[in-house]
Chain A
């Protein structure tokens, strides 16, 4: 599975959009981009995933560049409860058929 690179930390003002970048320059054609977050050492929580098209759900949007070498997770209106470590993971599998390998993630601090 391809490796990802994320900034170690980011700040965001409450109510503003949080844009979390991820580089995955060695991603291959059959690899998906997953985003998870972990709040206060709880179990990680699934946010969103995609292959090559942009995706949106009730939590966030995922923008994947055309060459698929990078992506951005967007939390449209960050709240204090969005303070967490966000993990970008690239995996060959989807639909619950493979393992997730976590990198170091980005610590997002949402400030009042």
Chain B
């Protein structure tokens, strides 16, 4: 099954700054997904990243706050912009993992101070 390398694994950022998270897949995939997991909560889908087109955002998430790039079939980045303490969460990427199921990155734990 596919393997995803996600980085950074954690970061502490000042409010008002931005953090860019990278995910690299070891095989070509058509779609990649970005999730947010707030403390003690389940995963919430932010957007679907398709190569060659703009990302599709879920309700409540906007491109200005969460810009996504998908330059090729193995790589994607998520930027969390204009950080506030409410953005402190774990961010995860996901991609098709093989014949069945999806693979997830190990997550980025973001703390905004």
Contact = CB atoms under 8 A, between A and B. Distances in A.
Interface of A: 34, 38, 41-46, 49, 85, 87, 94-97, 99-105
Contacts, number: 59
B42 A104 contact: yes
Interface of B: 4, 6, 29-31, 33, 35, 37, 42-45, 48, 90, 92, 94, 96-107, 109
Contacts of B105: 43
For the residues of B in contact with A, the DSSP-based class is: strand
B43 A42 contact: no
A43 B100 contact: no
A41 B107 contact: yes
A69 B58 CA distance: 26
A105 B40 CA distance: 12
